[in-house]
Structure 1
Amino acid sequence: MTKPKIFIDGESGTTGLQIYSRLSQRDDIELMSIDASKRRDASERAKLINAVDVAILCLPDDAAREAVSLVTSTTVKILDASTAYRTAKDWVYGFPELNPGQREQIAKAQFVSNPGCYPTGFLACIRPLLAKNLIPKHFPITINAVSGYSGGGKNLIKQYDTYHEQQAGTASLYPYGIYGLQFGHKHVKEMHQHSGLASPPLFVPAVGDFEQGMLVQIPLPLWTLDNPPSGEAIHEAIADYYQGEKFVQVASYKEPSLLREGTFLDATAMNDTNVVQVFVFANDSTQEALLVARLDNLGKGASGAAIQNLNIMLGLPEELGL
């Protein structure tokens, strides 16, 4: 049986390296590589892109658009890990668990966009509540989130690693710092479109002094609603939505054993997995709730999600290599 041929365009980047590392250990596919001296040669890249079964694009947005413009084959499938096509009309959004039938759309699509890490956590939390009408589409949503510094790509990783080496682990470059303070973060459009919200959420991202891992927090002032749902009802709706899913896990309601020292929710606990873990915390007397997603920004937030999508696109078991 002929093995599917896979080409990673941009395999030297953070996400590309992670995907290559995962795929290189598999014997059910054939990885095609480009000579390092020809990585910027459009004609050579075009040959490879159009000669494989799936081309995975791990490139900056403009370079990803250029790569897509090179596609002439009607049989090659494209999986793009950039933000270039996550809200594009003719592309399928690569979050298999997002909606009923999403997997089937991914399986038959020629063009699939891999979700962003922050949107993965946000959508995993909020989509069930909108789908089940527990909160209205016009509900004003805010998102407070923190990621490990690997989410900033090669440059930020180098800054942190260099600083740690120079300070011998005694200090931090930024222990915790919020950014995106001009708003209009590139993930907001993706969050808005795929959530079903009437208006974009207000998004405040942050970076912490840890390499990978992520917490995405969505506070819900339920007292603003005429008929606020209970915390248990919210948890039940989310748990039901993801029943049977392997890579979206809904934690038990108010489960203290998942908190470090019974108090702290650790951002790094899902590292090196392809799992996004969803939590519901609530106080019915004050009519407040907090949704939290915990995931590896390099796993389900990037390379792990890409492998999951690749498997679906090839008609292979979803968990292969994960």
Structure 2
Amino acid sequence: MAPKIFIDGEHGTTGLQIVTRLSGRTDIDLMSMPAEQRRDPEVRKTFLRDADIAILCLPDDAAREAVALAADAGTRFIDASTAHRTAPDWMFGFAELDAGQADRIAKAQFVSNPGCYSTGAIAVLAPLVSRGILPADYPVTINAVSGYTGGGKQLIAQMEDATRDDAITASHFAYALTLAHKHVPEIVVRGGLSRKPIFTPAVGRFPQGMLVNVPLHLDLLNGGASVETVFQALSEHYAASEIVEVAGPAEAAAAVRLDPEELKGSDRLKIYVCANEDAGQVNLVASLDNLGKGASGAAVQNLGLMIKG
């Protein structure tokens, strides 16, 4: 019997993307609440408890409520909210975190889907911290730009409908200026850091895509690390991955500019090790689709692991 999959919040940006990816698959039974019953709490509870795996595309409090309604029924969860990303009893849904993470996700009842920015940041930080190259207390700074779809329906409408009173006309804007973005806790915990990074996110006037920049000073790394050391560590970490790719030194050196829309429509992630060795500086850049590997694509990847597990 095909596993029953229920997407709670299927009409939001992430949920719609997941539905699109799963529609037409014959190896699963994709459950969907009738539109007229979406606000009926008892119907929702029944769907959650009947599902083999529920994917939560909800605000944090609603995600916690959903888990409380059905965890005792044996329902397995993939939570796309920030509610459980640092919870010790939830498996972090970044399958490439280390060699055993995919197997742990496959067997887990509770899986937290990473945030889009944190996916890029953790992808470059965690391998360096785990190998002892990057000190856990390094004063990390993260600068990133995302497509506007990551902000949900309200931001999409503000960016696309110029007739709105709250329409946004800027081609690019920075936000989270108080340095308290919701992705910071998971970057600290899942990236292996002991000091909070300074994170400056921004949004560009393009729907999907993302660049996450993590600049480092080589003389502050452990063991006299070089650009080659950093590249080799990342390259070895992701050597077996079909989803995360590390650009070769020649490709990174030849890059005049990086396009945040490079991987739009893709569920992959690509890392560039850009450097000025004479200055002792390296900039690690993760390129991904904020709705792909940064959200819906990761959820579908985790779903595939859990079904097989």
Q: Do Structure 1 and Structure 2 share a fold, with TM-score over 0.5?
A: yes
TM-score by length of 1: 0.91
TM-score by length of 2: 0.95
Give the 5 Å matches for 1:61-80. Answer: 61-80=60-79
| Kept after mapping to 1: 8 A contact 2:133/2:223 | no
Query: Does 2:140 align with 1:141?
Result: yes
Aligned partners of 1:308 and 1:226: how far apart in 2? 34
Query: Does 2:265 align with 1:275?
Result: no
Q: Percent identity?
A: 50
Shift of 1:136: 1.1
CA deviations over 1:234-270 (Å, ceiling 9, x no partner): 10110001111011111111415973xxx11011111
Shift of 1:100: 2.3
CA RMSD, aligned part only?
1.8
Aligned partners of 1:226 and 1:69: how far apart in 2? 44
Q: Aligned partner of 2:246: which letter?
A: V
CA deviations over 1:140-196 (Å, ceiling 9, x no partner): 100000001111110010111112x89xxxxx7221111000111110001000011
| Kept after mapping to 1: 8 A contact 2:253/2:274 | no
Aligned partners of 2:287 and 2:273: how far apart in 1? 12
Q: In the alignment, which residue of structure 2 is the partner of 1:285?
A: 278
Query: Does 2:57 align with 1:58?
Result: yes
Q: In the alignment, which residue of structure 2 is the partner of 1:224?
A: 220
Q: Aligned partner of 1:32: which letter?
A: M
Aligned partners of 1:226 and 1:90: how far apart in 2? 32
CA deviations over 1:29-57 (Å, ceiling 9, x no partner): 11111111221222111111111111111
Query: Does 2:199 align with 1:200?
Result: no
Q: In the alignment, which residue of structure 2 is the partner of 1:212?
A: 208
Q: In the alignment, which residue of structure 2 is the partner of 1:92?
A: 91
Aligned partners of 2:67 and 2:145: how far apart in 1? 32
Of residues 267, 270, 289 in structure 2, which corresponds to 1:296?
Answer: 289
| Kept after mapping to 1: 8 A contact 2:133/2:221 | no
| Kept after mapping to 2: 8 A contact 1:91/1:111 | yes
| Kept after mapping to 2: 8 A contact 1:228/1:287 | no
Extract structure 1 runs of 4+ deviating beyond 4 A: none
| Kept after mapping to 2: 8 A contact 1:254/1:281 | no
Query: Aligned in 2, Cα 1:77/1:286: closer, same or farther, shift over 3 Å?
Result: same
Secondary structure (helix, strand or coil) at the match of 1:285 reads helix
Give the 5 Å matches for 1:71-220. Answer: 71-163=70-162, 173-220=169-216
Aligned partners of 1:232 and 1:258: how far apart in 2? 16
Query: Aligned in 2, Cα 1:258/1:23: closer, same or farther, shift over 3 Å?
Result: farther
CA deviations over 1:63-101 (Å, ceiling 9, x no partner): 111111111544321111111110112111000100221
| Kept after mapping to 1: 8 A contact 2:252/2:274 | no
Aligned partners of 1:4 and 1:227: how far apart in 2? 49
Of residues 249, 255, 259 in structure 1, which corresponds to 2:251?
Answer: 255
Query: Aligned in 2, Cα 1:258/1:5: closer, same or farther, shift over 3 Å?
Result: farther
Aligned partners of 2:205 and 2:245: how far apart in 1? 26
For structure 2, the residue ranges without an aligned partner over 5 or more in a row are: none
Q: Aligned partner of 2:269: which letter?
A: V
